Chains A and B, each alone.
Chain A
Amino acid sequence: DQQVKQNSPSLSVQEGRISILNCDYTNSMFDYFLWYKKYPAEGPTFLISISSIKDKNEDGRFTVFLNKSAKHLSLHIVPSQPGDSAVYFCAASAHGNKLVFGAGTILRVKS
């Protein structure tokens, strides 16, 4: 069962514009959400996280929004840069238990 879904396999954005990556989840017990970025031949690297008690968390160009009623979160990257081109994974956990990952979205930022 796919508890965390990233329905867009890929996204292409022009440099300088906003990138919006989406993630949906089904398990209402999830209370912590993370985004990881992965370059080819490297492991995923932690990008940003959000607790279920918040609806927004910002870190520089990266902002994560959480809509608990819709069981939906999104990652906004503004402005997008060519170096942001990577695979982005959404992950969730319930009460400190194991992370459940989505399948990932490939982001391409065109210069």
Chain B
Amino acid sequence: EAGVAQSPRYKIIEKRQSVAFWCNPISGHATLYWYQQILGQGPKLLIQFQNNGVVDDSQLPKDRFSAERLKGVDSTLKIQPAKLEDSAVYLCASSHRDDQETQYFGPGTRLLVL
């Protein structure tokens, strides 16, 4: 069974530029999550989708971050414009409807904002 796929793996941009990350969850997993992991901290949930609907986006900085999950499969997370403090690893995870607490993570995208 293929795991969670993410791209790109690394991205370097300058502040005020925009960037987008892509995630393909495990086949059949209805729930998809985006996390931000700043160096030295644990992952922090940004947004949770159930199929293509948003379940929780309470910690998503909506003035600059947006995410969508069209057709309930792939998802994209966008930052526009980026700030220095957005430098982090962005992790995508997915889980099965019947076991949402066991989440499977992708390798992450490491973002550096200069």
Which one of A14-22, A44-52, A64-72 contacts B? A44-52
Q: Which of A57-111 contact B (CB under 8 A)?
A: 89, 91, 93, 96-99, 101-104
Asked if A41 is at the interface (CB within 8 A of a chain B CB), the reply is yes
Q: Are A4 and B42 in contact (CB under 8 A)?
A: yes
Which one of B12-20, B61-69, B75-83, B102-110 contacts A? B102-110
- CB of B22 to closest CB in A, whole Å: 15
A interface residues, how many (CB within 8 angstroms): 22
Given known A-B contacts A34-B102, A43-B4, A46-B102, A99 and B45 have beta carbons under 8 A apart: yes
Q: Are B42 and A101 in contact (CB under 8 A)?
A: yes
> A96 — which chain B residues lie within 8 A by C-beta?
100-101
> A44 — which chain B residues lie within 8 A by C-beta?
43, 91, 105
Q: Are B93 and A103 in contact (CB under 8 A)?
A: no
Given known A-B contacts A44-B43, A98-B45, A101-B42, A93 and B101 have beta carbons under 8 A apart: yes
Q: Are B42 and A102 in contact (CB under 8 A)?
A: yes
Name the residue on B nearest A87 (C-beta): B42
> B103 — which chain A residues lie within 8 A by C-beta?
46, 99
Q: Are B106 and A32 in contact (CB under 8 A)?
A: no
Given known A-B contacts A43-B93, A46-B104, A103 and B43 have beta carbons under 8 A apart: no
Q: How many A-B residue pairs have CB under 8 A?
A: 48
Q: Residue among A4, A43, A93, A101 with the most chain B CB within 10 A? A: A43
Q: Are A101 and B91 in contact (CB under 8 A)?
A: no
Asked if A42 is at the interface (CB within 8 A of a chain B CB), the reply is yes
Q: Are A43 and B106 in contact (CB under 8 A)?
A: yes
Give the 4 A-B CB pairs with smallest separation, nearest first: A101-B42, A43-B105, A98-B45, A44-B105
Instruction: Give A contacts to B, CB under 8 Å.
Output: 4, 32, 34, 36, 41-46, 49, 89, 91, 93, 96-99, 101-104
20 new A-B contacts, CB < 8 A, other than A32-B101, A49-B101, A103-B41, are A41-B107, A42-B107, A42-B108, A43-B4, A43-B105, A43-B106, A43-B108, A44-B43, A44-B91, A46-B102, A46-B103, A89-B43, A91-B42, A97-B56, A98-B45, A99-B43, A101-B42, A103-B40, A104-B41, A104-B42
